[in-house]
Structures are given as C-alpha cells and as structure tokens.
Chain A
C-alpha cells in the first residue's frame, strides 16, 4: 500500500459513513424540531431553552396541556445543537428536516443572526419556523421586505426596540406624575460596545430627542470593562439629568454602579440588562439602592406565577426556572396549539394558526404583530421597569403590574 492511499482510504470511509447515515423511520406522532446553542458560550441559556421546550411537550403529552381541540396530537421533540453558528444551525435543521421529518421548527432558540439564516429554510422546505428568544429588529425588517417569502416564519419574541420604548415610557410617566424632575432635559449613555448596547442607546436617545431632550454623550466601552473613571469624569462635566447604562456582563454593571455612587453625581440612573443577573444584587446591594432598571421580566420573588413555574422546573430538572426557560415553554405552547388548531400538519394552516395566536402564558400575552413578531408592552409581554428598594427588586412600572411605588 502506498503512502498516499491510506489517508485516501480513511477519507473514503468517512465519506461512506456520511452517505450511509440512514433516515430515521417514520413515527406516528408529530415531530417538532428545535435548534439552539447547547454548546459554546451561550450553552447555559440553551440548556434553559431545552428544559422549557421539553417541559411543554411533556405536559402536552401527559394530558396537562392547554389544548385547542378535543383530540390533540401526540408530539415528539428533537433538539439539535447549533454551537451558536449559522452554518452549524443549518446543518442541524436540515438533519431534522431530512432525518426526523419534522413538521415544524423552533429556532433559533437564542441567536438573532442564526435565525436570519434559518428563516431562509422556511420557503425552501415549506416548513413553519418559529424562533424563540431572538429579538433583533433585523428579523422583522427581513420579514417585511418579502412577506410572501417569509409567510411561514414567525418570531416568538418582541423586537429589540421594546427595551427602548419601555425606558422612555417609564421616564415620561415618572416626569408627568412629578416622581422625577426632568431638569435641563439632558440624557447621557454609558454602554458596552456591542450591538445590544449601542442599539439600545440609539433607540432610547431617539425617543428622548423627540421629546425635546439633548443627548450629551454616548460613551462606549469594551465588554467586561470595570474601570469607568474616564467616562464618569466626562459625565460630571456634562451634568446629565438621566444616565442610562447597558452592560451584559454583571461585573461591569457592579463596577459602574459603585463608581457612579463614589462620584455622587446628581442624576437619575437607569440600568439595562445587568441587574437581571442575581450576582448584581448580591454584590452591589449597598450601592445600588434606588437604581432603576429594565427589565424585570421574570421574578420568582415578586410574581407567584413565575415562582410556581420556577418550582416546577426545579422539581423536574433540579435547577430553578429562568426567563429563558419560561419563554421557551411559552414558545412551544404556541407551536403546539397552532398544530392542534390547524388539525393537520399543513404548513400554511399551521402558519395561519400561529398568526391567530392570542395566548396568555407565564411570561405574558402572546399576540403577533404584522411584522410576524410578538408584541411587547403593558397589554402583551410586559417590559417592566424595576427599582432596587431596601436591597430588593420591586416593579414600579407599568402600574398594572407594579409591586411598589418609585422612591
């Protein structure tokens, strides 16, 4: 055997193995596929998604579902890993389509950019696709650019502008009822240098400007920054009345709040995202008192429904439920109810039923808008603003879900 033919043999074997991978035999039940980041940096969230999806299917098959018809179909769930990469997600989805013969796909469960790739499969394979947590407005823009093409694709979460709208509406409400003083109407931002940070700053800034405010500065820092003295000294000079900070890393937020407190700026501070991390309150309770933040979408402490859900997850999987678990559960419920209501696995019928969804679930009321995205706001999925009072989180806005008044 020559030196060359051995590697050639190895590769031929591999190729053969790939070609021979046999399709799974048909099942009587209806199979729903899901793809999400089960490995990689976001694996933790992916695990929550899997638990939520599985729990919803389990409830459904055990006769504990929220059914539409008298004779709901049995469902099988198969979830595959994307590693958070679009091309891997496509592999995973195509495997589900060809080998598992799925009638619907939940995906991506987390990443917007992966969803932008996956949604192309809906027209190609005539497959209803419902994404779970992705929020990017780009997805809705893409749907609106060709509604015919993306008629089978639906987005199970609200658009990324939801946060900005909530922050603005909260402040407007607080100024109107004299809880806060708008002063010279100057707002400043300190955000991490990611799309998430910048998009939020831009949206909030835009809405405030429409009300006659000026944006004094938008300081961007690399993710995981913990030294904010340069940014804070600029803030001191500009003297804004409202400071909005956005970080996805809890340590950045803790450092920022601590240093802001030391500088004793006379400003109202609203934090986006990082206070959702439990470690924020654990490590910054002493300095974070009075901080406003968005969005307290899931709280076992304040919301008995959330607590009940979290306890169920705890009993089932040994870890508490999170917003991601709850949201995935609700997304799966939408899918199940749509298939049930359609009475068949006809893709168009399922998409039609998703469109008609008006479903009250643990994280809120799911109703889709014209752009195929779930709506946010007090009447739909609330984006509540909280305040840290006495070392604890309290929802202070919107009023219909508030657990306390702003202090």
Chain B
C-alpha cells in the first residue's frame, strides 16, 4: 500500500538516506529500527512529505506522492504522529484532536471524533484541559487521537515511545495494536530492537541511512546480527 523506492534525502550537502526501499501492506504494523542518527525519522518525514526526497518514489496505492505537498497526504488516508508529540500546547485537548480532521468535513469529523474517543477513553476527562499541561503519556494519547482524526489507512508514528514510562510504553503498545486491529496500518520507528520487532509484523533495520536488513518481526529478532549488536546476546559456537 505505502511504498518507498530508491528514496534519497539530503540535508544541504549531507546525504542522510541512501536508496531506501520500504513497503507497508494493508493492516500491517511495520517497525523501523536503528541507532541514533541512522535516518529513521527522515524516512517517516519523507514518506509524509515533510521532507522532500532528492530522488526516488513515494507512493500510496500506486499514486506517486513524492512531489506533492504534505497537505495532500491526510486526504489520501495517511497521517503522522510526530516525534515529541508536537501538540499545540496552548490549545485545549479537544481543539488539538479536532485539528486532526483539518481537511475533512465537520460532519465526518464529528463521527470520527466519537470513534476516537471510544478507542481512547483516557482522554475524555481532559478534553477541556490545556494540552501543554498534560503528562507525557497523556500527551501521546492526544497526539495519537489527533493522528487518527484524519481517518487514516496508514498511520506513521515517529518515536512513539520516546520519554514514556515503562507502564506507559505498554499502554501505547496495546493502543497501537488495537488501532491496527481496526484495519489501520502502522509504520513506526524505535531504537529498542526488542520493543520494535516484538510488536510488529515486519521490520527494517536502518544503519547510516541504508536499509541493511529486513524481514518479519520474528526473523528480525532471531537474526544473529540483530542479536549481537542490538540485543547484546553473544552466540555460543555450536
């Protein structure tokens, strides 16, 4: 459904992505794992159109989007939960969530809003609170709710677990699975290999802007390279 082919991205003269190819199928959870600075966020930004690739193809259901602005994506069924939530701190939670349906008709938005509140009842008591005053976990819920308001088929999540308590990480994981069960594909990135691949159908390993490994969640977790470098498990010679 969402496909990246030969995507190259430059920041000024520095090349940060090298011929990246990825795919997210309908209803899949896909993880991008990699160390700090490997270009994980840039992949999501390029997919969303927030960073224009210098070459390559970004397509959604075979429609090429790489030259179209980010503002078109929500209409096509794609939305993003940005790193560090990026809520509108001085607006109320309800205003934040409703802005997620920016490109949609008010009547449709109302309907989705009910659906989202159903899915994330935790935010209900805080609807009139100022978003910037919520805890990190609450803010992440609001950010996810906002992302869902576009009624996306693909939800991109940039570092969804960043700065959350272990308990909150679990909650967010289960929310992601719940969203996925309702038919929304998810592409997210995360530094922790175990967390990334244990909850995803498929995963990619990104190093220095290149995809070095890909496979199903289990395959990734079992791969000796991943085990050695990212899980810290030394294989004993058989």
A and B touch in the complex (CB under 8 A): no
B interface residues (Cβ-Cβ under 8 A, vs A) = none
A interface residues (Cβ-Cβ under 8 A, vs B) = none
